Amino acid sequence: MPVVAAKSSIRFADLQQGYRRNRGVADVIREEGSWSEEEYLDLDEGCLLEFSQGNVEVLPMPTATHQRLVMWLCWQLSSFVQSRRLGEVLLAPLPVRIGSAKYREPDIMFLASEHEDWDEDKFWESADLVVEVVSDDDPKRDLVQKRKEYARAGIAEYWIIQPRDSVVSVLSLKVRSYHERRFKLDDVAKSHLLPGFEISVSELFAAAKPPKARRKNGNKP
């Protein structure tokens, strides 16, 4: 998780100029902890960035497997929510504020209709449900760090998709900590927040395979 930081101070405009010259975020030097929330929210450079206490964290580019999992689950969740007019489902990149000077960009996020005032266009003030697909570069980020952060932020439900183990964890908020239910292949993962929303874990991970592999294996995970 590269952090845009270094010893010397370079203005936000210099970062934008660096982007225009096709320089990577991690190549642009900036004093650690010197970012403001406004500068972070003004970024429009097409990569996944999160913000924590003045630092901008650069997330790894998603793999095709990651994207297939996200798209399949987002379609399932969005169809359920829209058909019942429960709210809105969106995909990253979109910052969600989870505390003072702290933003995350969940892979999928749901905002209930009664909380539509949380929609600030450039970011959401919070979310009712978030989904993260665990990346190989730093599994603890989703499994440990974000679990604590989302719980502290009061996000009612957190889904963790673990491609390596073919496991879906559904975490429901109880006071300030999560109660976790783990679902494996052949299980049906169910939401506590959205009664009636459930998915086949086997179908989810089958959708992660390339179309050619799915045709060859007859959609078996």
* Per-residue pLDDT tens over the stretch 90-127: 998 899 999 888 889 999 999 999 999 999 988 999 99
Examine the domain organization and report whether 99 and 20 are in the same domain. no
Between the CA of residue 14 and those of 42, 176, 186, 208, what are the distances in Å? 14, 40, 52, 39
**First CA to last CA distance, the chain:** 30
CATH of residue 179 = 3.90.1570.10
Q: ∠51-11-124 over CA atoms, to 5°?
A: 30
140 domain residue, yes or no = yes
Examine the domain organization and report whether 51 and 155 are in the same domain. no
pLDDT in tens, 122-178: 899 999 999 999 988 789 989 999 999 999 999 999 999 999 999 999 999 998 899
Distance from C-alpha of 169 to C-alpha of 171, rounded to nearest angstrom: 6
Q: Residue 144 is which amino acid?
A: V
Q: What is the CA radius of gyration of the chain?
A: 18
CB atoms inside a 10 Å sphere around CB 101 = 15
Q: Is the pLDDT of residue 190 over 50?
A: yes
Range with the poorest average pLDDT among 85-89, 165-169, 211-215: 211-215
Distance from C-alpha of 48 to C-alpha of 40, rounded to nearest angstrom: 12
Q: Among residues 117, 90, 77, 123, which one has the least CA distance to residue 104?
A: 123
pTM score, two decimals? 0.75
40 domain residue, yes or no = yes
163 domain residue, yes or no = yes
Examine the domain organization and report whether 41 and 72 are in the same domain. no
pLDDT score, position 215: 65
**What length does the chain have?**
221
Task: Tell me the three state secondary structure of residue 42.
Answer: coil
Examine the domain organization and report whether 53 and 83 are in the same domain. no
Examine the domain organization and report whether 92 and 128 are in the same domain. yes
pLDDT score, position 23: 45
CB atoms inside a 10 Å sphere around CB 140 = 10
Examine the domain organization and report whether 73 and 39 are in the same domain. no
pLDDT in tens, 25-77: 444 434 456 667 776 666 555 556 666 656 666 666 678 999 999 999 999 99
HSE-up (13 A, CA, CB side) for residue 81: 22
How many domains, the chain? 2
Examine the domain organization and report whether 78 and 40 are in the same domain. no
3 domain residue, yes or no = no
Residue 150: give the domain boundaries. Answer: 64-217
